[in-house]
């Protein structure tokens, strides 16, 4: 059974002679605990996925560095063989620059996509944290409300007791 913050805030415990039904309260708290545990597991899975994405991003940055190093090496090589075959070297350099640019563009696009995914995961994480925080705050308000109700019931019970010595 899935539970929502509305279910939690709308749940009413049965009242008994001495207050709330302890079994029902325990049962409900076990249910809330189970749902919260699922959320924690989901959050951990998202953290692992984020770590994998960050590792992938590092890989792409390394590839970009290698591509830049390769381009520099190709330019030096082109200068060395410039005298032997100047026209052929210029063609090779231009082709290498075009291919390098394409690879850099692809890497930059992929890095942008990964950064977008990371940002989306951060937004999802923030929303998840806010939902969890909201649920916890609702639980605290509910507990405070129940405590106040018990205090009021205790005062009313005390006020309704007949004075000592009077028959009931």
Q: What is the pLDDT of residues 11-49, one digit of tens each?
A: 777 777 777 777 887 788 788 888 888 888 898 999 999
CA 112, CA 147: separation in Å to the nearest integer?
52
- The pLDDT, as a whole number, for residue 165 is 63
Mean pLDDT of the chain: 85
Residue 166 pLDDT level (bands cut at 50, 70, 90): low
Could you tell me which residues are beta bridge partners of residue 15? Answer: 20
Q: What is the rounded distance in angstroms from the CA atom of residue 77 to the CA atom of residue 65?
A: 18
| Residue 42 in domain | no
Residue 6 belongs to some domain of the structure: no
Question: What's the mean pLDDT in 52-69?
Answer: 93
CA distance 63 to 135: 44
Beta bridge partners of 20: 15
Q: Please report whether residue 23 resides in a domain.
A: no
Domain assignment present for residue 149? The answer is: no
Residue 18 lies in a domain: no
Whether residue 26 lies inside any domain: the answer is: no
* DSSP letters for the chain: ----HHHHHH--PPEETTEE-HHHHHHHHHHHHHHHHHHHHHHHHHHHHHHHHHHHHHHHHHHHHHHHHHHHHHHHHHHHTTTT-HHHHHHHHHHHHHHHHHHHHHHHHHHHHHHHHHHHHHHHHHHHHHHHHHHHHHHHHHHHHHHHHHHHHHHHHHHHSPPTT---
pLDDT above 90: residue 66: yes
Q: How many domains does the chain have?
A: 1
Residue 116 lies in domain: 50-128
Q: Does the pLDDT at position 168 exceed 60? A: no
- What pLDDT, on the 0 to 100 scale, is given for residue 162? 67
Is the pLDDT reported for residue 158 higher than 90? no
Tell me, yes or no, whether 140 lies in a domain.
no
Q: Say if CB 114 and CB 58 are below 8 A apart.
A: no
Which is more confidently placed, 50 or 13? 50
User: pLDDT tens, 96-121?
Assistant: 999 999 999 999 999 999 999 999 99
On whether residue 147 sits in a domain, the answer given is no
Share of the chain above pLDDT 90, in %: 51
**Spatial separation of the C-alpha atoms in residues 12 and 160, rounded to whole Å:** 25
């Amino acid at each position: 059974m899935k539970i929502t913050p509305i279910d939690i805030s709308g749940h009413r415990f049965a009242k008994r002679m001495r207050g709330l039904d302890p079994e029902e309260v325990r049962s409900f708290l076990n249910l809330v605990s189970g749902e919260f545990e699922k959320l924690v597991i989901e959050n951990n899975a998202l953290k692992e996925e984020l770590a994998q994405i960050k590792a992938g991003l590092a890989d792409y940055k390394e590839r970009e560095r290698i591509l830049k190093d390769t381009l520099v090496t190709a330019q030096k090589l082109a200068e060395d063989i410039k005298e032997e075959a100047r026209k052929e070297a210029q063609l090779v350099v231009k082709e290498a620059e075009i291919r390098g640019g394409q690879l850099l563009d692809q890497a930059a696009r992929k890095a942008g996509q990964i950064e977008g995914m990371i940002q989306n995961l951060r937004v999802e994480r923030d929303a998840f944290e806010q939902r969890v925080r909201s649920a916890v705050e609702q639980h605290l308000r509910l507990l405070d409300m129940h405590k106040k109700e018990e205090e009021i019931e205790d005062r009313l019970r005390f006020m309704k007791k007949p004075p000592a010595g009077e028959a009931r």
